[in-house]
């Protein structure tokens, strides 16, 4: 047993003072330090530095590790030229993406306080790195393929990857999961099979959804930049589904919908009604010219969202604090203190619920996953700690997963 004492402990959207946590692999008790010391006299005592805030470990719900070799290959600015550049450079980027590069990115996430992440995997090439990383990984095997002719073959390959992720050791902290690439790129027949598979096996489920204006134009009118794209690469000018049909495919199983920047009020209300959640990727959306997710609408609908970095295919780092700071600038009309608190909740409690992890809050019985952040001085007003944590943190001071210290 260990007991950790920090100046501030983040619970229920507040920063509690004079509290300590007793933990093994899970949180055993949260109480006054003197009470815990009396209850567990043999526990190892961890005293954190002055002005340290103890957060639940942060959860990055959506990252593509396989694209970690990208620096300048992909064209940022507008979605469609970016997608063209992905097709052009994908093979080289995959070839250049060594295990070492991916391990370094897992470390970068860890140092920023990320104790769990959702890895979107196209080919399964990052499975070993994810198994060996200290973090919990929800391993989202991605299904892609809109052409009916190849659909069965692609589904077979997807099933093989699912099986490989199911045979990982329990101590690798891997959860096998299902990702649908997008409405425009997955044939409805295999889409339905994959959703049923996720549901039967109670696996977390995610999908990219209405990321760009071009995607909306294609699905609604069979026009725009995607028309040129599909004519060029797939010899077709008909989308395989509609927005409504695609959303309905997920009706009976809560799913993490990624981006949703171009979803309208009715669609967002539908996602909320069906118990789905949203992944918000502020920098990725900005860099690919997709627009701003109206998080104030999500709030009004009580539609929960997480904050995610996406991959280095559409970002410049996998640091969760870089993402928070960008979110603060992107949502420039939002009250900054309130937004900061909301972002912290999004990347802890709401992210854990979206990925089905027993983490995200500092309650008894939860995983002992912690990110400790040390502020540069005594905060003058405790109600501002979320903002100061976001503005002053590049790296966490210490990070624990399953009760073990990794940073």
Residue 279's alpha-carbon distances to 68, 139, 295, in angstroms, are: 20, 16, 11
- Closest CB 398 distance from ligand BEZ, rounded Å: 41
Q: d(Cα 345, Cα 10) in Å, to the nearest integer? A: 10
Q: Of residues 105, 108, 211, 267, which has the active-site annotation?
A: 211
Q: Which of residues 226-245 bind ligand BEZ (CB under 6 A)?
A: 234
| Residue 12 in tokens | 């229920």
Q: Which stretch binds ligand BEZ (CB under 6 A): 89-97, 138-146, 271-279, 290-298?
A: 138-146
- Closest CB 209 distance from ligand BEZ, rounded Å: 14
Nearest of 146, 155, 139, 160 to residue 194 by alpha carbon? 155
> Does residue 144 bind ligand BEZ (CB under 6 A)?
yes
C-beta closer to ligand BEZ: residue 216 or 345: 216
- Closest CB 250 distance from Fe ion, rounded Å: 17
Q: What x-and-dash track marks residues 283-322 binding Fe ion by CB under 5 A?
A: ---------------------------x------------
Q: Which of 68, 135, 146, 367 binds ligand BEZ (CB under 6 A)?
A: 146
Q: Which of 56, 118, 145, 204 binds ligand BEZ (CB under 6 A)?
A: 145
The reply to whether 211 belongs to the active site is yes
C-beta closer to ligand BEZ: residue 80 or 347: 80
Kind and range of the H or E run holding 33: helix 33-39
Q: d(Cα 293, Cα 249) in Å, to the nearest integer? A: 23
C-beta closer to ligand BEZ: residue 99 or 123: 123
Nearest of 267, 332, 271 to residue 304 by alpha carbon? 271
39-44, long-range: CB < 8 A, 24+ apart: 40/1, 40/3, 42/1, 43/1, 43/2, 43/3, 44/1, 44/2, 44/3
Backbone angles phi, psi at 321, to 5 degrees: -75, -35
- Site residues (vs Fe ion, CB under 5 A): 310
């Amino acid at each position: 047993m260990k007991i950790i004492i920090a100046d501030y402990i983040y619970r229920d959207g507040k920063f509690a003072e004079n509290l300590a946590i007793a933990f093994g692999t899970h949180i055993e008790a949260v109480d006054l330090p003197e009470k815990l010391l009396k209850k567990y006299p043999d526990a190892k005592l961890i005293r954190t530095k002055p002005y340290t805030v103890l957060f639940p470990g942060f959860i990055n719900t959506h990252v593509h590790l396989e694209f970690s070799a990208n620096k300048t290959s992909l064209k940022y600015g507008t979605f469609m030229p970016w997608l063209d550049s992905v097709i052009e450079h994908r093979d080289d980027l995959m070839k250049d993406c060594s295990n070492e590069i991916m391990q370094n990115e897992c470390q970068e996430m860890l140092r920023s306080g990320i104790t769990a992440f959702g890895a979107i995997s196209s080919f399964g090439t990052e499975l070993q790195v994810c198994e060996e990383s200290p973090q919990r990984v929800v391993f989202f095997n991605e299904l892609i393929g809109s052409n009916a002719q190849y659909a069965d073959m692609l589904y077979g390959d997807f099933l093989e990857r699912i099986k490989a992720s199911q045979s990982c050791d329990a101590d690798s902290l891997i959860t096998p999961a299902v990702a649908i690439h997008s409405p425009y790129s997955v044939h409805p027949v295999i889409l339905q099979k994959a959703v049923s598979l996720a549901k039967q096996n109670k696996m977390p489920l995610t999908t990219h959804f209405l990321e760009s204006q071009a995607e909306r134009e294609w699905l609604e009118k069979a026009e725009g930049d995607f028309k040129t794209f599909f004519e060029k690469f797939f010899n077709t000018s008909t989308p395989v589904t509609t927005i409504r049909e695609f959303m309905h495919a997920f009706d009976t199983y809560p799913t993490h919908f990624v981006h949703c920047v171009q979803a309208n009020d009715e669609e967002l209300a539908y996602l909320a009604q069906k118990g789905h959640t949203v992944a918000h990727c502020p920098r990725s959306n900005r860099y690919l010219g997709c627009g701003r997710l109206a998080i104030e609408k999500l709030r009004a609908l009580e539609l929960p969202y997480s904050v995610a970095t996406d991959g280095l295919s559409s970002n410049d780092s996998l640091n969760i604090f870089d993402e928070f700071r960008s979110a603060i600038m992107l949502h420039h009309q939002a009250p900054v203190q309130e937004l900061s608190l909301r972002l912290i909740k999004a990347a802890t409690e709401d992210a854990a619920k979206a990925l089905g992890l027993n983490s995200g809050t500092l309650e008894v019985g939860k995983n002992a996953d912690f990110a400790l952040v040390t502020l540069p001085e005594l905060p003058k007003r405790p109600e501002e700690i979320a903002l100061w944590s976001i503005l002053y943190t590049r790296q966490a001071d210490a990070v624990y997963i399953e009760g073990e210290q990794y940073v």
